[in-house]
A and B are shown apart, each in its own frame.
Chain A
């Protein structure tokens, strides 16, 4: 390898980055670090935008039919005449909140941003395997985002059929749904390019000595995530093509015979199956749930090992668990469909696989909890977020069990209980871990430290508000309040006892926004005038901290490609002078007695 690299360097060195134009360097860059930052900024903005949609919806839920004060008049008459939200607009906000949060916010932040920036550094690679493909992946994502946003401005507004786009409703929807499908095809292309790139990079570009079982767990999480993206997204692409055919060429793939719309038989040949869409959609969307959570688990593992100053308990078990989890995630999808009438045999199969898949999740969580035991924990800001993740993901996971079993799912299906469950997994779960990741790797990316006080205000405000938003959903759901209700359940007798919670949840949601302000201020201020961070500010063992400068060298990452001698979490090793033993430290250093 060394021969080859130097031979190519001889006539085609890429150290000429200083001469690159502004556009090549910051906009159409092929450097994985720049692309990672592009992904990160775009995804954070989309998260904020998706959150804003939800804050608007929460006004309607807390105070149905009342005009929105101050900003209500800024909206058009087709959306909020006189500041009062129309049901159609509520549906647009709901569908686009889900779509934007999942496909344009969390996944691009977890995979596009963190994966792109950190994976090549942690495996000791100079860049991703296909830098141009990497750039194309970002711009496909960007185009998909533009299409999704512009769909708000087409006649009759954005998609209204929910983020799941269930047919036949979606097949007869207005133009916004077509935009949604085109946007999804762009996003699927983006994640396909990204997944091929990540997998090739991890398989081919690991540094000398970086065997698979010496890879940091974060890299393993990204590896499995990429497999899920690679293999689960294409069926949704197939489904999107079929739905586009239904919408544009009047085929009937999802239109059953004799469908009656507004009292008239639909003008379609019929013979299609609405259930087919659900199968194809959930074949993607269940692995997608693990795409949302696995990178978060990876981030949390890195932060916990670093801040307990202990090796991760059961590294190998974690790896086997995550591989098994990835495999199982392909055969649980129909637990979203227990009440579709697909039959008890199918239900039995899918509830069994669903119970089995909970085992590796519990293993991972348990291993992380045991890691805390006996560690001298440093309560840094990223560590607070990682510690917050553990019980929050625990609540999200355990409340999923009744939904995975058909008999208990039937009364809970499509109630607020479901909303509470998956938001606990994604919001106080994944998003908390991702925010922790921002605090953890910020010094590496910028060479500056973030403010600790603002970080702690951000953490406590966020975790408390999130619980006040999502916990009442369990109570409402168990009382039988359905999701997607424009008035929050006002017209239902059985909802009256729990309606007061709507206001609690809404106020908590708006407060959650207030507590994001210290984070935004912290990000901007720390870049401008944060304290300078040294190269290994957390005293970590993994290559991105121990072997690369902060920020890493443009186009190449390391001054010299590192060689790896040991596993990723050698903290507090008795044979080494410091309490962290970098992966690339040469074995000779081992002989130095402790304390010298």
Chain B
């Protein structure tokens, strides 16, 4: 006996199973990042100054330590990748598999661009010995952005699977495949959204 509503929506709830699942998963992700953001607020309230003195230097603002232009660029990159993600799903809905490949490829590519920029950012921090152990400001910065980067990597892996081997499902069950791209997209937009909260809280405030 097969499991119902894997492809079509259940009439009374109006959604298919995977969509319920991913929204619930995202709710738990909100609590995960919510916990970390709360920890950040808790530590910042308790600190006499923020960021304060790190390695003998006095910093008045977070933007004096962190690279705001690079992070702004990264914000643009992620927003662009969200747009291409929507386009890849829309292409499938319009039955244009060739376009799907193109847009999904762009999404994956932009994900990599984000990570490369991030690597440069981390590299310059390491160069100046601004390590997590030096100060809780650096600790929070590395933990939050690191965990976010892990989520980006996870998204790239999922998207790459759907770009490559997973795309075979388009031939056998196009409706279900389109649903899968929608679900992957919801996750990708969430990762984007986390960054949009992260960027101002850590870099600007």
Contacts and interface: CB of A to CB of B under 8 A. Distances in A.
A391 interface: no
Interface in B32-84: 32-36, 38-39, 42-43, 46-47
Contacts of A234: 28-29, 31-32, 34-35
B5 interface: yes
B10 A280 contact: no
B interface majority secondary structure: helix
A238 interface: yes
Contacts of B39: 238-239, 242, 253, 276, 280
Contacts of B10: 1, 204
A245 B38 CA distance: 17
Contact of B4 (A5, A130, A279): A5
B147 A241 contact: yes
Interface in A1-18: 1, 4-5, 8-9, 12-15
A9 B1 contact: yes
B173 to A, nearest CB: 10
A66 interface: no
B13 A196 contact: no
Given A238-B33, A271-B43, 17 more contacts: A15-B1, A196-B28, A200-B21, A203-B20, A204-B15, A230-B28, A230-B31, A231-B27, A231-B31, A234-B29, A249-B131, A251-B133, A251-B136, A253-B39, A253-B43, A253-B140, A273-B43
Which residue, B2, B11, B29, B133, has most C-beta atoms of chain A within 10 A? Answer: B2
Contacts of A199: 20, 24
Interface residues of A, number: 57
B3 interface: yes
Contacts of A273: 42-43, 46
Contacts of B134: 269
Interface of A: 1, 4-5, 8-9, 12-15, 125-127, 129-131, 133, 192, 195-197, 199-200, 203-205, 230-239, 241-242, 245, 249-253, 268-269, 271-273, 276, 279-280, 283, 555-558, 561
Contact of A196 (B24, B32, B34, B143): B24
Contacts of B35: 234-239, 280, 283
A235 B34 contact: yes
A129 B2 contact: no
A14 B34 CA distance: 41
A199 B23 CA distance: 11
A203 B17 CA distance: 9
Contact of A130 (B8, B21, B36): B21
Contact of A200 (B8, B17, B135): B17
B27 A235 contact: no
Contact of A235 (B32, B131, B139): B32
B7 A4 contact: yes
A279 B42 contact: yes
A171 to B, nearest CB: 13
B132 A249 contact: yes
B20 A245 contact: no
Given A196-B25, A204-B13, A251-B132, A9 B2 contact: yes
The 9 closest A-B pairs by CB, nearest first: A556-B1, A238-B35, A235-B35, A251-B139, A234-B32, A250-B133, A234-B31, A126-B1, A8-B2
Nearest to A231: B31
A148 to B, nearest CB: 22
A552 to B, nearest CB: 11
A529 to B, nearest CB: 32
B203 to A, nearest CB: 19
Interface in B126-146: 131-136, 139-140, 143
